[in-house]
Amino acid sequence: MSQTPITLRQLPRLRNRRLGQLGGLIRPGAHSSPLLEFGKRFVASPPGFPTMFITHDMADVREVFTNHEDFSVGQLMARLSSHDLVFGKETLIFLEGEDHRRERKLFSPPFQHKALKSYEELMIEVVERELPKWPVDEPIEFLKAGYDLAIGVLLSVVFGDVAPERSGRLKDAVSAWFGEIESRGFLAVTLVTPLLGGYTPPYRPLMRAQAKVDEVIIEEITARRASNDAGADRRDVLARYVGTELDQHDDVALSRNLRGILLGAYETTAITLGWIATMLAAHPAAMAELDAAVDSGDEARLDAYLDAVVAETMRLRPVSPFTGRIALRDTVVNGVAVPEGTIVIIPILLIHESEHIYPDPLSFRPERFLDKKPDGHTWLTFGAGPHRCLGAQFATVEARILFRAIIEKRRIDPIPGPIEPARRYHTGLSPSRNALITLRRR
């Protein structure tokens, strides 16, 4: 006989005067949050927001991630932020069930397995173009280099050799669009959304900037269709759609999805690259291991250690230190009755700092991932379940390839003392001094 589920009312409740402490769960050092006095589950009711069920019970977490029918990540984003306006409600993260499965199948192949191998040269070319611009023997904010690398790779991998008359316009349009997303006006719109119950007021400057990006992308798609230059010699993502069996969208929908992918991939990748540089500067033993691998000329050893560095950096500094879902109907999560409309928060960083999962959890030890790939249930930088990041494999391979190309030419100076602190950036964490490091010629 199944037991009667416990209700949210029976769980510890965070008093509103302590709501500020929630922030401590998603900053490095989360494991020492006073909220751990509640155990693994508690409830919060911030004024004006739906009830929040915060859990780091791993059985709960697994159920929430895999229960595609009763929970939605997109609806949560639409309720709390202006993401739906930026991405478009027809893009992957906002879809559920069969619609999501179909679209995911169409958009996955260019970001996985064999396809990744073919982007390697394009990625190295981006490093070769950017690296000479970075000063040596003096401090640089590597986060900025991370942004340049991230957009360079995206434009080149997603769109490839765009016809010259369009490539400058595409870059400018994308950069103007990113600028609008960062603008004060749009920030105000974003902040007001949760207070309006999830309604995002239209924000014309952003809509205009998005329309310009779409215009150039659609022009490129049209030109490729017209020239029958869909796939032949091209390695880019667009070429893997146009004229292939994946080509099942009209040009507007394809453009919107590619634009969404640019956005989802850009900042997350740039900040991760910044953290990798920060972690290497703060951990000379890891840098020395990479130096030794470069000097030995053993590429397999270098790649294996770099993969481990990337995984360990993403464990301790996940760009999104939490994720969540909203309940679409009354449901039960591992014996807890969760009413429709409840927000479930999964504190990823807190889970990554658990000593039961990662012994000596606060130490940066890439070795823990040398013989063992990150476990998809407990290493949650890319989320989990059907909405797990589409670009997870792409992003980790990209970080390895970019850093391999960088450290074959440059060393990163050690920085004694504590790791550069994290600052809140939107809902994520970014290095507070923009990943200040010093590069030396090898």
Q: List residues binding ligand HEM (CB under 6 A).
A: 73, 92-93, 104, 111, 261, 264-265, 268-269, 272, 319-320, 323, 381-385, 387-391, 394-395
Query: Residue 390: helix, strand or coil by DSSP?
Result: coil
Q: How far is the CB of 237 from ligand HEM (least distance, A)?
A: 8
Can you spell out the DSSP letters for 107-152?
HSGGGSHHHHHHHHHHHHHHHHHHGGGS-SSSEEEHHHHHHHHHHH
Ramachandran angles phi, psi of 163, nearest 5°: -50, 140
Q: How far is the CB of 191 from ligand HEM (least distance, A)?
A: 21
Query: Residue 76: helix, strand or coil by DSSP?
Result: helix
For residues 162 and 263, which CB has a smaller minimum distance to ligand HEM in the complex? 263
Instruction: To the nearest 10°, report the CA torsion of 95, 52, 83, 275.
Output: -110
**Pairing between strand 6-7 and 336-338?**
parallel
For residues 160 and 383, which CB has a smaller minimum distance to ligand HEM in the complex? 383
Instruction: To the nearest 10°, report the CA torsion of 401, 405, 410, 416.
Output: 0
Of 442, 441, 334, the closest CA to residue 65 belongs to: 334
CA distance 116 to 420: 32
**Pairing between strand 331-333 and 52-55?**
unpaired
Please classify residue 202 by burial: count the beta carbons closer than 10 Å to its beta carbon, then call 0-12 exposed, 13-18 middle and 19+ buried. exposed
Q: How far is the CB of 401 from ligand HEM (least distance, A)?
A: 13
CA distance 219 to 395: 28
Q: Write the single-letter amino acid at 119.
A: Y
CA distance 130 to 260: 25
CA distance 437 to 442: 15
